[in-house]
């Protein structure tokens, strides 16, 4: 966090942790060897079993690729669990058109060079489609290989905008909104719902806040809104009245804030104290209940964008409960996104009635499916429809999603 970076003692702490990790790696390696032996046994026995099964129908192979070891393993492993849960559900119901689903799992440690290896292995294993990869860089490296082999790829977590927007990878889909979706949503909300003509954009000079502010400025200008003021302010300062005077002098009809809630609450408070009642629109960093607690009555009416709320979706509740039952723990990052990705893929294969690439792509783009993320489908570029960011507004001391 930015508030702590003055302490160099943290360097010492990170050194100790690093030494620890090195030690753990050794242990992990031993474990891996043991696991390998087990895995070979398991595979042999599986081959014997599936050998008898394949007499009736060959299984549909689905690849799962991502970081399963290394620093970023915690981002990739929940996806494996999600895929296993969905596949188990489907296989228990008799599979798709009589064919069972089989998962082929490959690790890329979120490294592009390992991702291409993993992709090559999956291609030679003749998978129909891949759930993954996890990190944007690794995904990009692997996508070319899948594209050449006509393999549909659905990532639960790669948010880099050009992956879909460049149009280079027609085989790529994702069940997460791209990085710029939030800013685009905010800009469209300013134009279409609030119908603003002239706005001020402020940010906290940080990566997140400034990035959001710059994108909102870009999209708002594309939508024909005049950005009269674009400025960074000092986070943590006690008083913002000078910049608020400047905003009021510029006669704008809305303020966009890119940053976090402590400054947002000071801004809204000092704006309302000066009798300014123009809309205040902010980002995910403000869509936090702490903002309402701190700003109190001043928070009323503030808009903020944030990921669509899935906590009340019965399918999400069920998926999480299944995970706890099967693996004895809370699911990790991107679990629901991966769950939805696997469901969407298997649904598309079932609806297409075949494992043909073109038919699966067409089905993904036309069929809607009920998932823990909601009722979703994909657009022509491969971005998810029906899940992403929503605009929330503080109403009576609570964030309410605006439909």
Partner 1 sequence: MEYFLKLFLSGTAKGSIYALIALGYTMVYGIIQLINFAHGEIYMIGGFTALIFGGFFFSKGMPVGFVLLFSVLLSIIYAAAFGYTIEKIAYRPLRGKPRLSALISAIGVSMVLQNFVLLAQTEKFLSFPSYLPEFKWLQPYKEYINSTQLIILGVTAVIMVLLTFLIKFTRMGKAMRATAQDMHMAQLVGVDINQVISVTFILGSALAAIGGVLICSYMGQINYYIGFIAGIKAFVAAVLGGIGSIPGAVLGSFVLGWTESLGTGYISSDYEDAFAFIILIVILLIKPEGILGRTQRQKV
User: Residues interacting with partner 1, by CB under 8 A?
Assistant: 3, 7, 205, 231-234, 236-239, 241-246, 248-249, 261-262, 265-266, 269, 273-275, 290, 293-296, 298
Contact yes or no for 339/82 (Cβ under 8 A)? yes
Closer to partner 1 at the Cβ: 276 or 320? 276
Closest distance of CB 280 from partner 1, Å: 15
Nearest-angstrom CA–CA distance, 284 and 281: 10
**Residue 305, phi then psi, degrees to nearest 5:** -95, 150
Nearest-angstrom CA–CA distance, 143 and 172: 7
Helices (H), 125-206: 136-148, 162-165, 181-188
Closer to partner 1 at the Cβ: 150 or 210? 210
Closest distance of CB 201 from partner 1, Å: 12
Closest distance of CB 298 from partner 1, Å: 7
The closest alpha carbon to 139, from 173, 114, 115, 106, belongs to 115
Closer to partner 1 at the Cβ: 190 or 200? 200
Closer to partner 1 at the Cβ: 210 or 381? 210
CA end-to-end span of the chain = 33
Q: Is the dihedral of CA 101, 104, 105, 111 positive or negative?
A: negative
Nearest-angstrom CA–CA distance, 64 and 97: 21
Closest distance of CB 45 from partner 1, Å: 51
- Tell me the two tokens of residue 228: 């009269």
Closer to partner 1 at the Cβ: 159 or 248? 248
Nearest-angstrom CA–CA distance, 72 and 63: 19
Closest distance of CB 264 from partner 1, Å: 11
Nearest-angstrom CA–CA distance, 117 and 108: 8
Closest distance of CB 178 from partner 1, Å: 28
Beta bridge partners, 257, equal 202
Q: State the burial class of residue 176 (Cβ atoms within 10 Å of its Cβ: 0-12, 13-18, 19+).
A: buried
Between the alpha carbon of residue 267 and those of residues 1, 27, 90, 172, 327, the distances in Å are 22, 51, 52, 41, 45
Nearest-angstrom CA–CA distance, 299 and 19: 46
Closer to partner 1 at the Cβ: 247 or 391? 247
Closer to partner 1 at the Cβ: 152 or 268? 268
Closer to partner 1 at the Cβ: 197 or 205? 205
Closest distance of CB 232 from partner 1, Å: 5
Beta bridge partners, 393, equal 303, 400
Tokens 């902010």, residue? Answer: 282
Closest distance of CB 290 from partner 1, Å: 6
- Tell me the two tokens of residue 9: 């003692």
Closest distance of CB 294 from partner 1, Å: 5
- Tell me the two tokens of residue 273: 């104290």
Nearest-angstrom CA–CA distance, 269 and 112: 47
Closer to partner 1 at the Cβ: 291 or 334? 291
Closer to partner 1 at the Cβ: 120 or 229? 229
Closest distance of CB 6 from partner 1, Å: 8
Closer to partner 1 at the Cβ: 213 or 384? 213
3-state SS track over 338-374: HHHHHHHHHHHHHHHCCCCHHHHHHHHHHCCEEECCE
Closest distance of CB 205 from partner 1, Å: 7
């Amino acid at each position: 966090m930015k508030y702590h970076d003055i302490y160099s003692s943290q360097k010492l702490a990170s050194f100790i942790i690093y030494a620890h990790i090195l030690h753990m790696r050794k242990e992990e390696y031993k474990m891996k060897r043991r696991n390998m032996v087990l895995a070979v046994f398991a595979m042999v026995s599986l081959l014997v079993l599936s050998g008898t099964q394949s007499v009736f129908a060959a299984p549909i192979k689905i690849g799962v690729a991502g970081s399963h070891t290394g620093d970023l393993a915690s981002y990739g492993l929940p996806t494996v669990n999600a895929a296993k849960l969905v596949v188990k559900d489907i296989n228990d119901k008799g599979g798709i058109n009589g064919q069972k689903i089989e998962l082929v799992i490959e690790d890329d440690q979120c490294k592009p060079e390992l991702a291409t290896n993993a992709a090559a292995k999956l291609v030679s294993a003749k998978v129909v489609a891949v759930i993954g990869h996890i990190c944007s860089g690794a995904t990009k490296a692997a996508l070319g290989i899948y594209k050449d082999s006509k393999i549909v790829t659905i990532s639960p977590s790669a948010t880099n905008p050009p992956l879909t927007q460049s149009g280079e990878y027609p085989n790529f889909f994702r069940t997460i909104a791209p990085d710029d979706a939030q800013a685009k949503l905010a800009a469209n909300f300013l134009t279409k719902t609030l119908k603003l003509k002239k706005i001020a954009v402020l940010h906290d000079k940080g990566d997140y806040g400034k990035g959001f502010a710059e994108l909102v400025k870009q999209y708002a200008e594309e939508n024909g809104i005049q950005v009269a003021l674009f400025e960074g302010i000092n986070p943590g300062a006690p008083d913002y009245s000078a910049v608020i005077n400047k905003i009021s002098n510029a006669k704008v009809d809305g303020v966009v804030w890119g940053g976090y809630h402590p400054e947002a609450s000071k801004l809204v408070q000092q704006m309302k104290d000066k009798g300014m009642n123009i809309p205040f629109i902010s980002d995910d960093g403000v869509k936090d209940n702490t903002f309402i607690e701190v700003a109190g009555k001043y928070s009323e009416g503030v808009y903020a964008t944030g990921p669509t709320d899935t906590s009340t979706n019965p399918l999400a509740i069920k998926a999480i409960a299944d995970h706890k039952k099967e693996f004895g723990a809370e699911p990790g990052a991107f679990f629901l996104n991966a769950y939805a990705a696997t469901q969407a893929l298997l649904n598309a294969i079932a609806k297409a009635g075949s494992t043909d690439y073109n038919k699966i792509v067409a089905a993904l783009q036309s069929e809607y499916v009920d998932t823990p993320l909601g009722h979703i489908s994909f657009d022509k570029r491969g971005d998810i429809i029906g899940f992403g960011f929503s605009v929330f507004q503080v109403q009576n001391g609570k964030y309410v999603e605006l439909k």
